[in-house]
Structure 1
């Protein structure tokens, strides 16, 4: 009797497969001995996907009422822990901040962000330290943010002018569209140093955000190869490629314009000017050199973080005030009494408008633009509230749920700006009851820029116009539903349509 010889490489394949199975079994056995957070019952393959619903932050909040403020769940093969209380958020973002300060490297993030980086993006790597230092001390320093005041005021002027044309005719205004165009214009000029012309740019940013806020089948399915095939046939991979290429081309064109020898010297440096100047000063001895690819990555994050969040906050604030006309009148009286007949609200006026600032805080509490924040990833083992966290675990903080915690907030479902009248709670990452911008090492570096943009626009909208609902609509008819989806941000489901009436001091 004779036997066929082994195919070349088969013994090695069998050895590696056996080794993989043994290591996987050992890892599973070890994890069973640890105390992991409770989890809702899972289904094969999809895990807890069926329990997330159309609005994941709401579904996870309801589940946390049953399983506690530290809860684990899985979407396919992606294991995640969600944090849903002030106490647990403080423990994660303060006590265990460094141990959980990485970002999960999903396929979309690698494609849309890390493709722009030629240096490893790991926590406290030289690149991470350098970019964080640049963001804090150069791009978003108090001095730099204040230097962009003329841009914000000019863009607010254009916003008021466009609404005034509708007010003179007594027609309904789509404030969602107006606010999105306004915030896009501000970020575009700050980043690129030129006016925003449209051409589908906002749609491109929205598509990038949607891709980054959702999982691919490759990550979801237990068998990655099957997921890759599904991504290819569904067109997701082609969408990723197209969005990346379009962003790459756009950013390179603008960088080339800034480097052109015949470019007139600008009155004010934009973000690209600042980054190119930093890159030029760096010498070969520097640990990190900022390249054009790195500049593109910073620009992408700036647009993703700046456009949607500010416009969402503006829309929700105006929607809540339209639904509560007494509160709107109180805010308008404060603003108009302070400004008088000067014709506009300036940034120097904002600090003298405490009630309006309370409205912004209450809007961020009730309608945080990113209700689950951007996910974190643990980098080492640690215990929190008696539960074990192991490396490479995705952790999400449900700030939407924290903003509705009845142990912290009286009547949490009600829009009550007055709750902040005698409260020192702020949104700058030191008070864990209110975390719309996150906290710890991963707090949003553009916090001051975003708040100044929202404050100035909201104050001028309330100063220049009296607002009423379209004819035949009552306050209780105003739809306050959130738009469903797996995006990083959550919008008002229906556009906010109001009728402006010009105010004459």
Structure 2
């Protein structure tokens, strides 16, 4: 699920870890980038409040009150604020009815924290006790399919010349930083894998906070 240690949260300390961390700190967590992303956060707060208001209008009773599951609302808001700067689209706009992406995200988070017997007793791995390895492969395939789709969209946008200026999202920045540079194959890891793993770890961090909440 961690792209064979390409995900920075799971990769060992070394040249690869330091270089990816440098890109993240300069291109996503710098003061300038955070300031640039402020309008996205403001827009998402306004959209979130508007959605809650419309839900209240639709479901309020005679006392002008309505019951709401706030964990779901906070979860969608947090994911929107995370996914929009990453790939330029809202999480809620990428999820369609019947889409397994939200469930895959939850399973991804749970499996990363799961205790697997074979981690402590390696010779039992062939038994796959609890079916964790099978489930991990399934979830990894589903998550990779989604992130690969985002990446292909960004490549098409880049090739058409639309990905430029101040409106670049983090995946655009990674494409610019890695493609055609000396870091395109960093420590044997290709650029596509680095981009997918780095974007996915950010999604995982916010999903972890939602699950723990």
- Using structure 2 for the length normalisation, give the TM-score: 0.81
Pick from 225, 234, 237 the counterpart of residue 123 of structure 2: 225
Are 1:211 and 2:115 an aligned pair? no
Distance between the aligned counterparts of 1:247 and 1:285, measured in 2? Answer: 23
Poorly superposed stretches of 4+, deviation over 6 Å: 284-287
Deviation string, structure 1 residues 35-86 (Cα, Å, up to 9, x no partner)? xxxxxxxxxxxxxxxxxxxxxxxxxxxxxxxxxxxxxxxxxxxxxxxxxxxx
**How far is the alpha carbon of 1:308 from its aligned partner?**
3.9
Are 1:490 and 2:197 an aligned pair? no
Contact 1:187 1:307 in 2 (8 A): no
Pick from 14, 18, 23 the counterpart of residue 134 of structure 1: 23
Distance between the aligned counterparts of 2:141 and 2:119, measured in 1? Answer: 22
**How far is the alpha carbon of 1:164 from its aligned partner?**
0.8
Distance between the aligned counterparts of 1:490 and 1:286, measured in 2? Answer: 35
Contact 1:208 1:243 in 2 (8 A): yes
Are 1:193 and 2:88 an aligned pair? yes
**How far is the alpha carbon of 1:227 from its aligned partner?**
4.4
**How far is the alpha carbon of 1:273 from its aligned partner?**
0.3
- For the residue of structure 1 that corresponds to 2:149, the secondary structure is helix
**How far is the alpha carbon of 1:193 from its aligned partner?**
0.7
- Alignment partner, residue 148 of structure 1: 37
- Alignment partner, residue 4 of structure 2: 115
- Cα distance change of structure 1 residues 141 and 285 upon mapping to structure 2, 3 Å threshold: closer
Distance between the aligned counterparts of 2:106 and 2:132, measured in 1? Answer: 15
**How far is the alpha carbon of 1:159 from its aligned partner?**
1.0
**How far is the alpha carbon of 1:202 from its aligned partner?**
2.5
Higher relative contact order (CA 8 A, sep 6+): 2
**Which structure's CA Rg is the greater one?**
1
Are 1:238 and 2:134 an aligned pair? yes
- Alignment partner, residue 297 of structure 1: 197
- Cα distance change of structure 1 residues 137 and 265 upon mapping to structure 2, 3 Å threshold: closer
Segments of 5+ residues of structure 1 without an aligned counterpart are: 1-111, 313-488, 492-505
- Cα distance change of structure 1 residues 207 and 285 upon mapping to structure 2, 3 Å threshold: closer
Deviation string, structure 1 residues 167-188 (Cα, Å, up to 9, x no partner)? 3322111110000011111111
**Higher normalized helix content (fraction of residues):** 2
Distance between the aligned counterparts of 1:292 and 1:254, measured in 2? Answer: 11
Segments of 5+ residues of structure 2 without an aligned counterpart are: none
Contact 1:190 1:271 in 2 (8 A): yes
Pick from 159, 177, 196 the counterpart of residue 278 of structure 1: 177
- For the residue of structure 1 that corresponds to 2:114, the secondary structure is coil
